[in-house]
């Protein structure tokens, strides 16, 4: 495979990671919005979609790692760094949003208890 072909393949892989990571972040923030409205079932569904999108991005990343471990050296480009940044941000935001959803649920429960006093 020529260097140009390898860069084209890497570019496609990068866009796959960025796309799935962006999709994951979108689902995570939709989940947070649903939780703010007290729609925790919808929030949970969005988190599942978020997890699926993260998994797709992670599979692409793992495939790259396995190829490199098999001897196919990869050229690191700014696009690849950008893709990794998107994936790591999606993972971090997903975990923070999960905690925020738990807090929103607790706030709603406490508000309901106060109303019943």
Mean model confidence pLDDT for the chain: 93
- Number of domain units in the chain: 1
Query: Is 82 designated active site?
Result: yes
Q: Is the pLDDT of residue 5 over 80?
A: no
The one catalytic residue among 20, 58, 82, 86 = 82
What 8-state DSSP symbol labels residue 38?
T
Give residue 113's pLDDT: 93
Task: Provide the pLDDT for residue 102.
Answer: 98
- Say which residues have a Cβ less than 8 Å from residue 94's Cβ, sequence separation at least 6: 24, 25, 28, 47, 50, 51, 54
pLDDT of 44-87, one tens digit each? 999 999 999 999 999 999 998 898 899 888 778 898 899 999 99
Spatial neighbors of 60 by CB under 8 A, at least 6 apart, are 13, 16, 17, 20
Counting Cβ atoms within 10 Å, is residue 5 exposed (0-12), middle (13-18) or buried (19+)? exposed
Residue-level pLDDT at 104: 98
Domain with residue 106: its CATH number is 1.20.58.80
- Structural domain including 17 reads 3-115
Angle at which helices 78-115 and 40-69 cross, to 10°: 160
pLDDT tens-place string over residues 10-42: 888 899 999 999 999 999 999 999 999 999 999
Tokens 């929030």 label which residue? 43
């Amino acid at each position: 495979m020529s260097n140009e072909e390898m860069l084209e393949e890497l570019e496609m892989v990068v866009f796959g990671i960025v796309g799935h990571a962006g999709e994951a972040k979108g689902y995570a923030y939709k989940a947070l919005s649903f939780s703010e409205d007290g729609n925790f079932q919808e929030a949970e569904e969005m988190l599942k979609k978020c997890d699926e999108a993260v998994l797709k991005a992670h599979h692409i990343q793992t495939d790259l790692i396995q190829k490199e471990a098999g001897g196919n050296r990869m050229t690191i480009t700014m696009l690849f760094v950008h893709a990794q940044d998107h994936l790591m941000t999606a993972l971090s935001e997903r975990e923070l949003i999960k905690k925020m959803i738990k807090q929103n649920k607790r706030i709603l429960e406490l508000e309901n208890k106060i109303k019943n006093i």
